[in-house]
Structure 1
Amino acid sequence: MKFTDGYWAIRPEYTPLYAVEVDDVRIDPAAGTMTVYAPTSRIRGRGDVLNRPMLTITYSSPAPGVISTRIVHHDGRRPVGPSFALHRPEGFVPEVELGEDVAVLRSGELEVRVPRRGSWRADFVSGGRVLTSSLAKSVGAMQHRDGREFVHEQLALEPGEQVYGLGERFGAFTKNGQVVDIWNEDGGTSSEQAYKSVPFYLTSRGYGVFTDHPERVSYEVGSEVNTRVQFSVEGQSLSYHVIAGPTPKDVLRRYTALTGRPARLPAWSFGLWLTTSFTTSYDEATVSSFIDGMAERELPLSVFHFDCFWMREYQWCDFEWDPRTFPDPVGMLARLKEKGVRICVWINPYIAQRSALFAEGAEKGYLLRTTSGDVWQWDKWQAGMGLVDFTNPEARAWFQGKLKVLLDQGVDAFKTDFGERIPATDVAWHDGSDPQRMHNYYAHLYNSCVHELLVAERGEGEAVLFARSATAGGQQFPVHWGGDCDSTYASMAESLRGGLSLALSGFGYWSHDIGGFEGTPDTGVFKRWLPFGLLSSHSRLHGSGSYRVPWAFDEEAVEVTRRFTRLKLSLMPYLGGIAAQASDEGIAMMRPMVLEFPQDRGTHTVDTQFMLGDALCVSPVFRADGVGETYLPAGRWTHLLDGSVAEGPAWTSRTYGFDSLGVYVRPGTVLPVGAVQDSPEYAWAEDVTLRLYELPDGYDRTLVVPGGTGSAATFRVRRSGAEVVVSSDDAPAGWSVAVAGGAPSATAHGPGTVRVEA
């Protein structure tokens, strides 16, 4: 939201109150708070203290390396929910120091310094370096002539500093120059709207800023004041947290420690998912033919998904199988699972008026009501639909009870669609929540409800969602996918930009519809999308009005699907490790280049490729002529598929067949590759091959290969001169070592040591 008219003037509808100077600072060492009282005009004499507004700015810290700021005009407003749940280490209290010239609050290596004289200024400092500052006219309460009030902060940007994140944004990857509203909407991938709006950004200077408001937060990223990021909310107060690095990974570790880390996922979720698509016609025979067709063509399939029409039209959701096409759902699910697949079904939190659950939910008070006491309804999506009120614990249990029936029938996972079009006016939530704050937060309650049930029924590490909407903290309930994209090269690229922005918003896992959702992709688009999708954290073939089985396109599409599905499954010893890092540290599996190479300014704006973990650079082909361009940082990078070497830092350009793309192994990598290519569920450390890529002399590192269905193994890899020594005290039988992607040159049978020439 913009309040100014150019640099000098204020828009006529606003009256500004800016923090101008510091009148007083009070510290509470026991509580670890520092409160600054800032008049909104210069105080030159006693008469100036009368009839003058004042802003109160309180600094505190929830965790080391994080400093919280709360800006208040009038503090008498009653707090309303919902609020983000923040995880705070027990017993932590920051240091506060009140000096003659400057007041300081120190949290680990991060501190905020507020000069007590002169114009308003607050510097956030780490390692002796100013990360960002709140300067003159940064802290403001803006009064609209209609009586509304807004509070804003502006934090300074350095020349060349890039801003990332703010959720799954499908526009430009760097947010500089953009206007971004944190407001979930169902707008597809071709607009400025987002399904997953997250009020958190990080910058190339190695710090992040989390605005602690679930309602609409408006960002002006160098788009109101070119050298500042402005963020504002409606009301009398604004709270935000500055999160220190020094690296972007450190920022994400701290941010996800505060807002929640992604749950661990089962191995089977990393295999290929296939769906019925949305409006296509299907029954058990159709579904069986798809699964059998995959098996006949030796295309490994892990999950089959039933989209909306597993239920009867006009009755979404009643959670009952359509008896016209699925007369024996329990028997059908058993027959399908005998074919070796898990089952996922589509759901959403909307209850159509024709559903039997509507009357039940309305009678018991489980559906959202208007301020006049009626059930809130509209006709978008489903005729007369209502909305489950997840702020009511009984409604939450009711919804879970309906889903448990499906789990008992044999369903393994849920696609939790929708959750964005939530009314923000004239409704009354069961727990009294503010409708504005509930609009974005509703997705969090919805997905947490379903995830909680799956954990209770299937156990920790076995709960899988395929969710579309989210906000801050939603990363705890994976997986998330990119929503409705077109079946074009351009939409393939915009989907990737959304995933990269989400990765820098704390989300560890992400997927997209291979081939695109809307329309039917031409054969070339489909075959180019396949490697991109199968080298993403999660891989799903899905469409709208047409099927996405590979043989519907051509035989080469079948071959490409087979090649890259098998490649992904063979990489499970590696993918399992980076998946654990996503859950343990909050570092995404699919990483923007800047996350791995923050010191290389050549990576700061790259948004057409990604690092899959720390070792593999994946560069999809977005052109019909097959030309793929890849930026490689410094070093000798080896193409994973053909063994060719490219030297960085440089852009490379190659023409690829449909069976290839830019996928390069980072120099200095030990890549564990498994022997199994038909399932993600195997003992990853057994028969593993450690492939060595450009290890420098003096290399000495330890690699842990996770166990999968077996035991994990630890390997120490050392290079001295031309010899590489690999040893393990706990490896299972049959591991081997290969150099630069070649055939294994040494094999060990159990614990031991092998030596190879580098």
Structure 2
Amino acid sequence: MKFTDGFWLMRDGVHASYATEVRDVRATAETLTAYAAVKRVERRGDTLNSPLITVELFSPAEGVIGVRATHHAGKRDNGPHFALPGATEGAGKVAGDGTVMTLTSGPLTARLDTSAPWNLTFENADGEVLTAAERKGIAFATTPDGGHHMIGQLALGVGEQIYGLGERFTPFVKNGQSVDIWQADGGTSSEQAYKNIPFHLSSRGYGVFVDHPGKVSYEIGSEAVGQVQFSVEDQSLAYYVVAGPTPKDVLDRYTSLTGRPALPPAWSFGLWLTTSFTTSYDEETVMSFVDGMAERDIPLSVFHFDCFWMREYQWSDFTWDNDVFPDPAGMLCRLKGKGLKVSVWINPYIAQKSHLFDEGRELGYLVRRPDGDIWQWDLWQAGMALVDFTNPDAYAWFQAKLKVLLDQGVDCFKTDFGERIPTEVVWHDGSDPERMHNYYTHLYNQCVFELLEAERGEGEAVLFARSATAGGQQFPVHWGGDCWSSFGAMAESLRGGLSLSLSGFGFWSHDIGGFEGTPDPDVFKRWLAFGLLSSHSRLHGSSSYRVPWEFGDEAVDVARKFTKLKHRLMPYLYDAAARAHTTGIPLMRPMLLEFPEDPTARALDRQYMLGPDLLVAPVFSSSGDVEFYLPEGTWTRLLTGERVQGGRWLRERHGFDSLPLYVREGAVLALGADEGRPDGDWLDGLTLFAAHGAPGERTVSVPDRTGAPAATYRVVRSDDGSVRLAGPDEGVRLVVAGEAAI
């Protein structure tokens, strides 16, 4: 939200009060509290009829400093609040030197000079200023509509770039944008987002998390061009500055505070195929798809039933449409017999025609309006109501309905929707409706994920979720929502996924071929290669099928090739997935995560690193022409072993069975032998592919299904160019780039 009219004036009817000077400081060993006047106080009379802003500095975790600015502290706090599972006590230390007070936590120091005009700086371990809340850095403003907004501003350095704020499909670098953290079902072609995360990451090696689950309005170098501004309509605003020095360090600390991504099961990394949304399908259709994939030698891991597995007008009642699927338990058993896992679509809405509506109404499990009526509308489902997950009994009730499906043989759920949450309602626990709008998705996905962990066991739970807020990374996987079937939408989807990955989310997917419309075969084939070199891979559409043979024989060949390649890459990918689980570093990584010192890498949004060592540049054209950037070093084409010098842009032309796929200098990729499934025995027939590199030693781990190392190998490059295994090598094939095929 913008409050000013240019640099000098305020907008009509807006009055702003800025922290101007410190009038008092109270300190403990671990916290600082400053009382800031909103004008210069030159005489006693200046203290009358004028507010103070209370500014608290504290540290909830090593390398994280919190700032809480409050105007009136008497406002009732009904929640909800973001959970901070990594918060600890005693992480910060306060010190004073004359008029300067500091709070230090790990490599980060907040410095406040109480004698000067307001200036709160944040410095790294070398004493360099990362950012600062300067003369307009902390404020409150009143607006003509009676609103009261708390405002924070943090300075942008020259050339500093800002990323994150959730899965945003607008430009990857957020400088110059206005962003509202407000859940919306807006597709992938607008400024709206399904996954709104009030966390941004800076190219200068720090991050900022605004601890407010409601609407947070950002102006990123857009209102004040040298500032990142964030505001909330409230009496208090809290945010955390998260130290680096590298972007990876920032994500490590941020996800340690807000929750690490769970490790998805290995089988979930294989190819998912769905019925699509509004297409006509029954068991015969489903089995024709499954058998068709097998006949064409395209390995399939998961089959997903979208909305119409349930009866029309009755979503979600979790009851199979018996006219279409007369024997659901038998069908699930038959699918399991073909080695498949099964997913079904759900959402948190209850249609009036469903028997669960009457049940939920009688039990008091549906969200109500202030007058006591159940909140309903006809958008999406006729007479649709909403499950109140703030009610523990409703939470358990919802889980009990899903458990019936798990007992039938369902393995996981696509948790769709969760964005269109009304604010003119009353929640069971008294939560603030404005704050619950964004937070609802967290309770929804947590409810389903916890059931899966309880029933299937830790390490076997996985969702396909569309909406999320801060902390939602704990319940993977998330997919990119409703995109068009075009090259432009393919690029939008990647941009959104990379933005989400810089917001703490370790795993992400998208609809291969696009959701809306029917893709041109060229789009579908290019999207196949991209999709099968993503964290998770799903064929899904809206009104048309996405089985590869619908798009020609060449599409079948492309699907087969890249599915099998992904399976071979699983030892490498699952090791990177395990690191996402323990460190928060995503599997699909924007280039700046791996190359933060390379200025060119900081703006790249049409390529990414898959894990630490594999560069992927999807092709967004029918011709196969693709332009991409290789950072400094000697890179190896994975599919040919060819050596290519980096530190430059390249332009290549690729057939549909290829794309730029490069291995980083000195890397050794662990490749499995089993092309048929993602969760085979990775040590059986293991290949270590050694890319070109300088003399030295590289350690390679192959994980087990928990993500822990099952085996570790040492590969040594000698000065004479030879490469050898050091230590046990039984059953391991060493392939040196350029000497043999992978």
Aligned to 2:474: 476
- Contact 1:669-1:692 at 8 Å conserved across structures: yes
The aligned amino acid for 1:449 is C
1:598 to 592, 596, 599: 596
1:308 is the counterpart of 2:307: yes
Partner of 1:369: helix, strand, or coil?
coil
Distance in 1 between the 2:281 and 2:549 partners? 17
The alignment yields a C-alpha RMSD, in angstroms, of 1.3
The aligned amino acid for 2:22 is V
Q: Can you list the C-alpha shifts for 1:635-678, whole angstroms capped at 9, x where unaligned?
A: 11111112333211111001110000111111110111111100
- Contact 1:72-1:237 at 8 Å conserved across structures: yes
- Contact 2:61-2:89 at 8 Å conserved across structures: no
1:91 shift after superposition: 4.3
- Contact 2:643-2:692 at 8 Å conserved across structures: no
1:255 is the counterpart of 2:284: no
Aligned to 2:581: 583
Partner of 1:164: helix, strand, or coil?
strand
1:17 is the counterpart of 2:28: no
Distance in 2 between the 1:396 and 1:26 partners? 43
- Contact 1:467-1:479 at 8 Å conserved across structures: yes
1:702 shift after superposition: 2.0
Partner of 1:622: helix, strand, or coil?
coil
- Contact 1:440-1:471 at 8 Å conserved across structures: yes
Partner of 2:172: helix, strand, or coil?
coil
1:450 shift after superposition: 0.2
Distance in 2 between the 1:193 and 1:708 partners? 37
Aligned to 1:341: 340
Aligned to 2:179: 180
The correspondence of residues 667-746 of structure 1 with structure 2, limited to 5 A, is 667-697=665-695, 699-708=696-705, 712-722=710-720, 723-729=722-728, 733-740=730-737, 742-743=739-740
Aligned to 2:362: 363
Partner of 2:603: helix, strand, or coil?
coil
- Contact 1:484-1:518 at 8 Å conserved across structures: yes
Aligned residues: 739
1:218 is the counterpart of 2:217: yes
Aligned to 2:564: 566
1:90 shift after superposition: 4.3
The correspondence of residues 654-669 of structure 1 with structure 2, limited to 5 A, is 654-669=652-667
The correspondence of residues 644-655 of structure 1 with structure 2, limited to 5 A, is 644-655=642-653
Distance in 1 between the 2:98 and 2:533 partners? 57
Q: Can you list the C-alpha shifts for 1:389-433, whole angstroms capped at 9, x where unaligned?
A: 000010011100110000000000100000000001x21000000
Distance in 2 between the 1:93 and 1:563 partners? 50
- Contact 1:266-1:462 at 8 Å conserved across structures: yes
Aligned to 1:317: 316
Q: Can you list the C-alpha shifts for 1:130-166, whole angstroms capped at 9, x where unaligned?
A: 1100111121100123322001011000111110000
Q: Which runs of 5+ in 2 are unaligned?
A: none
Distance in 1 between the 2:560 and 2:465 partners? 26
Partner of 2:312: helix, strand, or coil?
coil
Q: Can you list the C-alpha shifts for 1:519-552, whole angstroms capped at 9, x where unaligned?
A: 0000000000000000000000000000000001
The aligned amino acid for 1:573 is P
Q: What percentage of aligned pairs have identical amino acids? A: 63
The aligned amino acid for 2:24 is D
Aligned to 2:428: 430
Aligned to 1:109: 107
The aligned amino acid for 2:431 is S
Distance in 2 between the 1:483 and 1:494 partners? 11
The aligned amino acid for 2:638 is L
With structure 2 as the length reference, what TM-score do the two structures score?
Answer: 0.98
- Contact 2:14-2:141 at 8 Å conserved across structures: yes
1:623 is the counterpart of 2:612: no
Distance in 2 between the 1:684 and 1:619 partners? 26
- Contact 2:642-2:738 at 8 Å conserved across structures: no
Q: Can you list the C-alpha shifts for 1:71-94, whole angstroms capped at 9, x where unaligned?
A: 011111122211000024544341
Distance in 2 between the 1:476 and 1:443 partners? 12
1:462 shift after superposition: 0.1
The aligned amino acid for 1:520 is T
Shift in CA distance, 168/314, structure 1 to aligned 2, threshold 3 Å = same
Distance in 2 between the 1:724 and 1:282 partners? 54
Distance in 2 between the 1:21 and 1:728 partners? 65
The aligned amino acid for 2:164 is G
1:741 shift after superposition: 5.3
1:686 shift after superposition: 2.7
1:45 is the counterpart of 2:43: yes
Partner of 2:15: helix, strand, or coil?
strand
- Contact 1:683-1:711 at 8 Å conserved across structures: no
- Contact 2:60-2:88 at 8 Å conserved across structures: no
Q: Can you list the C-alpha shifts for 1:171-200, whole angstroms capped at 9, x where unaligned?
A: 100000000000010000000000000000
Q: Which runs of 5+ in 1 are unaligned?
A: 746-758
Q: Can you list the C-alpha shifts for 1:16-69, whole angstroms capped at 9, x where unaligned?
A: 11011111211011xx11011110000111111111111111000001100000
Aligned to 2:537: 539
- Contact 1:25-1:36 at 8 Å conserved across structures: yes
- Contact 2:350-2:387 at 8 Å conserved across structures: yes
Aligned to 1:26: 26
With structure 1 as the length reference, what TM-score do the two structures score?
Answer: 0.96
1:711 shift after superposition: 7.5
Shift in CA distance, 744/529, structure 1 to aligned 2, threshold 3 Å = closer
Distance in 1 between the 2:203 and 2:86 partners? 26
Partner of 1:566: helix, strand, or coil?
helix
Distance in 2 between the 1:288 and 1:89 partners? 49
Q: Can you list the C-alpha shifts for 1:612-643, whole angstroms capped at 9, x where unaligned?
A: 01101100001122101111100111111123
Distance in 1 between the 2:739 and 2:143 partners? 68
- Contact 1:560-1:659 at 8 Å conserved across structures: yes
Q: Can you list the C-alpha shifts for 1:461-520, whole angstroms capped at 9, x where unaligned?
A: 000100000000000000000000000000000000000000000000000000000000
Partner of 1:429: helix, strand, or coil?
coil
Partner of 2:190: helix, strand, or coil?
coil
Shift in CA distance, 372/25, structure 1 to aligned 2, threshold 3 Å = same
Q: Can you list the C-alpha shifts for 1:87-141, whole angstroms capped at 9, x where unaligned?
A: 2454434110122121101111101001111211010001211110011112110
Aligned to 1:508: 506
Shift in CA distance, 444/212, structure 1 to aligned 2, threshold 3 Å = same
The aligned amino acid for 1:8 is W
Partner of 2:439: helix, strand, or coil?
helix
The correspondence of residues 93-172 of structure 1 with structure 2, limited to 5 A, is 93-127=91-125, 128-172=127-171
Shift in CA distance, 554/61, structure 1 to aligned 2, threshold 3 Å = same
Shift in CA distance, 447/651, structure 1 to aligned 2, threshold 3 Å = same
Distance in 2 between the 1:547 and 1:528 partners? 17
Judge which range, 342-351 or 98-107, deviates more. Answer: 98-107
The correspondence of residues 189-200 of structure 1 with structure 2, limited to 5 A, is 189-200=188-199
Distance in 2 between the 1:297 and 1:489 partners? 26
- Contact 2:606-2:618 at 8 Å conserved across structures: yes
The aligned amino acid for 1:370 is R
Shift in CA distance, 261/643, structure 1 to aligned 2, threshold 3 Å = same
Aligned to 1:203: 202
Distance in 1 between the 2:709 and 2:118 partners? 58
- Contact 2:70-2:235 at 8 Å conserved across structures: yes
1:718 shift after superposition: 2.5
Aligned to 2:397: 398
